[in-house]
C-alpha cells in the first residue's frame, strides 16, 4: 500500500519522507548556522526528489548532533533564527516539515523539542520530549504533554521523540487524542536496533495507527547512528524499511482514511477502543473502570516499583553528569510557549 514509495499517490494518501541525516558535529554558533543551512537544503532536496511528498521528517539531533552539549550559545529558541529558517524552507518548497531543536530553558537544563511546520511556514505542533534517555541525556523532562495537530490531506499527526517510543503509554496517548500518524524522531545507535523495530510495529498495531520513525545516520567520529527509517501500517506491517546510508530519504504513502475505517469497523483487535470497554460482550458498553495499579499510583504521586530500592542508576553520574539539585515542579511555561500552545488550540 506504499504506492511505490509514494510515487503513485492516491487521492487520500499522505506521502512521508524520512531523512536519515548524516550525524553532524556542532560545537560553535557558526557550526549551528551551517547545520541549519544544511537541513534547509535537504528540505529542498526532498521536494525535488519527490513532488508528491507531503511531509519531510528530520531525526532527533539533526541540528545539534549527539554531543549532549548544553552550552547556551548553541541552544535554540522558538523565535530564533534556526526555527525561522525552517519555516522559510517549508514555505519556499511548499512542503510540511518535522524538525528537532535543543531548546534554551532559563529555569534549568535545555528541552529536547520537536516542531511540525506546515507548507505555509506556520508552526502547527510543538512538543517537548517527555522521556529523555536517562542516564545518557541531560534534557529537562517535558512539561506540555503530547499535542496533536491537523496534518496534510485531512490527517491528524502526533510527534514523540526517540526513547518516548519505548513506553506504550506514549503511543496510546497519541492515538487517544486522535492521531492517525505518529512520528518518532531519534538519534539511536545500533544496540537499540531490535527494540526500535518491534516498538515501531507494536505502537502501530496496538493503536491502529501508522507510525513513521527515523534515526540520525553515519558517524561523527565518536558516535555511530543507525539510520533505519521505518514506516509501518496500522496493522503493524512495515511499508518501508531504511538502510544505514546517510542522507537517504525513505518514502512511503500512508492512508489516514483507512486508519479511520479500521478504528470504526474492526471488531477483533480494535485494541484502542477495547482498552476502555473491557468485555463488552458480557456487559453493556464494557467495563470502563481503571484496573491498573500503576496508573492510579502515577495520578496520586505514589508510583513505586516492588524492586525500587534495588535500582542502581537513579541519576546521570554514570555518564558524567552531576547529581541534580532541583526537584521537578512542572516548571513555569513562558509567555512565548503559552502563546504557541494557545494558537494551536
Are the CB atoms for 99 and 114 separated by under 8 Å? yes
Residue 155 CB partners (closer than 8 Å, separation 6+): 14, 180, 181, 256
d(CA 39, CA 161): 18
Q: CA end-to-end span of the chain, whole Å?
A: 33
Q: Is 90 noted as a catalytic residue in this protein?
A: no
Selected catalytic residue, list 60, 173, 180, 248: 60
d(CA 49, CA 45): 6
d(CA 270, CA 300): 30
The number of residues making up the chain comes to 345
Q: Is 9 noted as a catalytic residue in this protein?
A: no
State the CB neighbour count (10 A cutoff) for residue 2: 19
Selected catalytic residue, list 103, 129, 248, 253: 129
Q: Is 296 noted as a catalytic residue in this protein?
A: no
Selected catalytic residue, list 90, 149, 162, 217: 162
Q: What is the DSSP letter of 244?
A: S
Q: Which residue has the cell 503559552?
A: 338
Which are the catalytic amino acids?
Answer: 60, 129, 162
Amino acid at each position: 500500500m506504499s504506492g511505490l514509495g509514494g510515487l503513485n499517490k492516491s487521492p487520500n494518501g499522505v506521502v512521508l519522507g524520512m531523512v536519515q541525516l548524516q550525524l553532524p558535529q556542532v560545537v560553535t554558533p557558526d557550526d549551528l548556522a551551517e547545520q541549519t543551512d544544511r537541513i534547509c537544503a535537504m528540505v529542498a532536496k526532498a521536494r525535488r526528489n519527490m513532488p508528491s511528498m507531503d511531509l519531510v521528517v528530520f531525526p532527533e539531533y539533526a541540528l545539534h548532533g549527539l554531543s549532549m552539549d548544553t552550552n547556551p550559545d548553541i541552544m535554540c529558541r522558538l523565535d530564533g533564527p534556526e526555527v525561522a529558517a525552517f519555516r522559510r524552507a517549508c514555505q519556499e518548497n511548499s512542503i510540511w516539515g518535522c524538525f528537532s531543536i535543543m531548546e534554551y530553558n532559563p529555569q534549568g537544563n535545555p528541552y529536547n523539542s520537536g516542531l511540525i511546520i506546515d507548507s505555509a511556514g506556520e508552526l502547527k505542533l510543538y512538543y517537548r520530549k517527555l522521556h529523555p534517555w536517562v542516564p545518557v541525556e541531560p534534557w529537562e523532562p517535558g512539561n506540555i504533554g503530547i499535542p496533536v495537530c491537523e496534518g496534510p490531506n485531512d490527517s491528524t499527526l502526533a510527534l514523540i521523540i526517540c526513547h518516548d517510543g519505548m513506553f506504550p503509554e506514549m503511543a496510546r496517548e497519541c492515538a487517544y487524542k486522535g492521531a492517525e500518524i505518529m512520528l518518532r524522531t531519534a538519534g539511536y545507535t545500533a544496540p537499540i536496533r531490535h527494540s526500535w523495530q518491534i516498538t515501531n510495529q507494536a505502537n502501530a498495531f496496538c493503536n491502529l495507527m501508522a507510525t513513521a520513525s527515523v534515526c540520525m545516520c553515519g558517524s561523527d567520529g565518536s558516535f555511530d547512528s543507525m539510520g533505519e527509517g521505518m514506516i509501518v501500517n496500522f496493522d503493524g506491517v512495515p511499508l518501508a524499511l531504511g538502510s544505514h546510508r546517510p542522507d537517504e530519504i525513505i518514502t512511503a504513502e500512508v492512508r489516514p482514511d483507512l486508519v479511520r475505517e479500521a478504528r470504526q469497523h474492526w471488531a477483533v483487535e480494535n485494541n484502542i477502543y477495547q482498552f476502555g470497554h473491557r468485555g463488552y460482550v458480557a456487559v453493556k458498553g464494557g467495563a470502563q473502570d481503571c484496573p491498573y495499579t500503576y496508573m492510579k499510583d502515577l495520578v496520586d504521586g505514589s508510583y513505586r516499583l516492588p524492586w525500587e530500592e534495588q535500582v542502581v542508576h537513579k541519576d546521570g553520574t554514570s555518564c558524567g553528569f552531576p547529581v541534580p539539585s532541583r526537584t521537578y515542579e512542572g516548571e513555569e511555561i513562558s509567555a512565548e510557549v503559552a502563546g504557541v500552545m494557545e494558537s494551536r488550540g
